[in-house]
C-alpha cells in the first residue's frame, strides 16, 4: 500500500526534489502540497506530513498535524525558541522526526564529531566550515549548528556561549572551549561541511560533501516511512531509521 504524503514547502529546493521522487516511487502518493501562498484544504487526508518550508508556514502545519493526529517530518531550519518549544509540546501528541539535515552521512558525522570531541582534550581547538549555494539564506547552516551542538554537549559547553561566528572585531588570541563557524556561499554547491580538530602538531578533519540534493529527499521519505505507525514523541533521525 502506498504512503500518502502531504508536502509543505513543495516549491523550495528540497521540496521540489521530494515532489520529483514522489512522482516516480510507487511506495508513495502525493496527497497535497502547501507553499507560502497557501495551506492544505481541510478535507485532505494523508498518512504523514513532510515539511521543508519556512518557520512562518511550519506553525500552521504543526497545528494541522496535531488536529489530524498526523506524524510530522520536519526539515525546516531557522526556528526560534518559541516555535521549537511548540514542536516539543506537539511531540506529546504526535510522532515527530526533526533534523537539520536528512542525509544519512551527515547524521552519522554529527554523532562522530560528538564522540571525537569527547575524547580529545581542550588542547584541540574545533572549527566548523560549511559551504552552500548562493541562494541559501541562513548562515551558518542548520547542519553546522547541529554539528556544533553535538560538540558542545560532548564537552559540556554552553552551545551559545561557546560559539564564535565573527572574529573581525576582537583582536585577541583564540580562547579554549570555543567552537568557531565559517560560512561560504556561492555557485550551486549542494552542501559541504568540514569539522577541524586542531591540536599541537596535528589535526583531524571530518568532511561530508553532498553532490546531489536528492540525498535529502531520499532521507526525508525514509524518515516518513519509519515514522508512520509510531506513537507520540520526538525521535532522532538515525535512531528512527537505523536504531539507537
Which of the residues are catalytic?
Answer: 132, 136
Q: Distance between CA atoms of 28 and 89, rounded to whole angstroms?
A: 28
Q: Which grid coordinates belong to 237?
A: 533521525
CB-neighbour burial class of residue 159 (10 A; exposed 0-12, middle 13-18, buried 19+) = middle
Mention every residue, 6+ apart, whose C-beta is less than 8 A from residue 97: 71, 72, 73, 74, 223, 226, 227, 234, 235, 236, 237, 240
CA 60, distance to chain mean position in Å, is 20
CB-neighbour burial class of residue 151 (10 A; exposed 0-12, middle 13-18, buried 19+) = buried
Q: Are strands 125-132 and 191-199 parallel, antiparallel or unpaired?
A: antiparallel
Q: What phi and psi, each to the nearest 5 degrees, are found at residue 89?
A: -65, -40
Amino acid at each position: 500500500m502506498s504512503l500518502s504524503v502531504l508536502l509543505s514547502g513543495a516549491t523550495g529546493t528540497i521540496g521540489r526534489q521530494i515532489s520529483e521522487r514522489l512522482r516516480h516511487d510507487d511506495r508513495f502518493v502525493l496527497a497535497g502540497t502547501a507553499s507560502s501562498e497557501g495551506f492544505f484544504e481541510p478535507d485532505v487526508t494523508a498518512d504523514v506530513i513532510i515539511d521543508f518550508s519556512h518557520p512562518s508556514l511550519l506553525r500552521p502545519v504543526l497545528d494541522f498535524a496535531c488536529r489530524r493526529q498526523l506524524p510530522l517530518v520536519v526539515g525546516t531550519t531557522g526556528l526560534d525558541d518559541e516555535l521549537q518549544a511548540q514542536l516539543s509540546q506537539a511531540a506529546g501528541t504526535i510522532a515527530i522526526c526533526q533534523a537539520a539535515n536528512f542525509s544519512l552521512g551527515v547524521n552519522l558525522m554529527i554523532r562522530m564529531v560528538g564522540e571525537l570531541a569527547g575524547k580529545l582534550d581542550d588542547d584541540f581547538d574545533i572549527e566548523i566550515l560549511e559551504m552552500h549555494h548562493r541562494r541559501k539564506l541562513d548562515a551558518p547552516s542548520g547542519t553546522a549548528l547541529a554539528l556544533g551542538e553535538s560538540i558542545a554537549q560532548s564537552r559540556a559547553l554552553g552551545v551559545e556561549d561557546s560559539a564564535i561566528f565573527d572574529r573581525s572585531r576582537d583582536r585577541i588570541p583564540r580562547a579554549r572551549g570555543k567552537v568557531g563557524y565559517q560560512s561560504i556561499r556561492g555557485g550551486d554547491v549542494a552542501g559541504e561541511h568540514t569539522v577541524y580538530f586542531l591540536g599541537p602538531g596535528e589535526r583531524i578533519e571530518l568532511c561530508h560533501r553532498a553532490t546531489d540534493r536528492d540525498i535529502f529527499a531520499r532521507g526525508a521519505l525514509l524518515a516518513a516511512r519509519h515514522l508512520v505507525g509510531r506513537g507520540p514523541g520526538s525521535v532522532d533521525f538515525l535512531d528512527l531509521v537505523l536504531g539507537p
